[in-house]
Structure 1
């Protein structure tokens, strides 16, 4: 393939990847606990350009590549919740979720509720990692109070505890859908010693809408420019072929 066509093709492909990631961020601007995804850009190998005294310092780039990068784990804004187990983490940490295969996953979405069997579940129906000191059906009457450290009390009775897990390895998180992540190769995060849980609150998405929209506009313009270069290169090659004939 002609090098100009190859370079333009790699640019279109990389910019399309960035557009997909940015549009997904924008679509989840109102998703509870959503963490913005970043894009990593890489320059492909350069071809050295020979000069009279050897290779010139600036070669010809072979194009670019874009991949989904790390999640942006910055704090989202707090939104008032409507039930006692609407929980938000302030600062570091993640809630633990058991997937259907019993693998431990992690999330910042703390919209939890008990099912009819007394099991605390998230919005996807997966079981929340929680220690019950007293079975849910035997809890004393009264409003559950979730302390900042995760202890669940009714009056003076400690009925359970919701652990918060360390997010020190957030760069390794693998998305499994529904705002849930796992660590690779069965790794498990350690429990956080001093979490800060806010009861009656949920954490909103950390997507900056204005910034993401501006980024999308700039990327679309860059995509259009690459497409024009591709078209111009194709037209030049057609003219060259006509002259050869």
Structure 2
């Protein structure tokens, strides 16, 4: 069987995967905090017909003769560049300008008593997820949560410990500062601090795993800044240690560039068509070999 036929099959599989990735990027062009993906390819092992030979006194060296056997998927990279900022003028919409991610907790037994404002949590006893999507909300108990109902992790006792951030039900208004401090106006007109939003930072954010719902999960290759043996994230204050500043009243949108995606889509489509042509041509050659008997 012709090697070109199998090379064509390998090429078609690769370009099909690239089209899948491009399609997902385009589908999420307006998704808050979405980070685009990129496909790379590698050549497969080559079949060596003749090995290389070194030069001698009477003859020069000869290069190896190899026939490639197609391509394969090299990687699908998550590109964590800054997305465009969209102004919303909504206090609970927060955009991150710089490095870092919001921290969210699942499995928290949050108190419903309205008089309990400070609620510390044990990061090792909850499931942590991370996101750049800053569209936050208040639940019926006054806690700041995301669109999935996961609690935003911060520091609510000024001691550097993890905790939930809660706005009292009798607060006249509240605001969020660039360093993550959440202030509210009490019934007496005095400014009080409800807590401070903390961020997680990763030296290799591309190593995070997408799990849907605008969320990421930590992996062994994300380079999380952590001083804990259990691999728990450091609660970094925004605008410190090179982390992002929080912009209230705005959202970070997707970093997908439609012009780039359309170009990649056309390239992948033409590459897929060319590989199908290779299979067709190889089949015609095989048909000619069969017809030699007639």
Same fold (TM over 0.5): yes
Partners of 1:52 and 1:207 lie apart in 2 by 46
More helix by share: 1
Bigger shift: residues 43-52 or 33-42: 43-52
| Moved >6 Å (runs of 4+) | none
Aligned partner (choices 182, 191, 195) of residue 217 of structure 2:
182
Aligned partner (choices 172, 177, 181) of residue 142 of structure 1:
172
8 Å CA contact 2:29, 2:258 repeated in 1: yes
The answer for the alignment partner of 1:65 in structure 2 is 72
Deviation, 1:100, is 5.4
Q: 1:94 to 1:141 in 2, by over 3 A?
A: same
Residues 200-232 of structure 1: CA distance to partner in whole angstroms, max 9, x if unpaired? 010011001111101111110111011111111
Aligned residues: 245
Partners of 1:109 and 1:137 lie apart in 2 by 20
Bigger shift: residues 74-83 or 85-94: 74-83
Q: 1:38 to 1:192 in 2, by over 3 A?
A: farther
* TM-score normalised by length of structure 1: 0.90
The answer for the alignment partner of 1:20 in structure 2 is 20
CA RMSD in angstroms, aligned pairs only: 2.5
5+ residue gaps, structure 2, are: 55-61, 109-125, 158-163, 186-190, 221-229
5+ residue gaps, structure 1, are: none
Residues 13-70 of structure 1: CA distance to partner in whole angstroms, max 9, x if unpaired? 0111111101110111111111011112111111223279587346221111125522
* TM-score normalised by length of structure 2: 0.76
8 Å CA contact 1:34, 1:109 repeated in 2: yes
8 Å CA contact 1:21, 1:68 repeated in 2: no
Partners of 1:180 and 1:202 lie apart in 2 by 15
The answer for the alignment partner of 2:118 in structure 1 is none
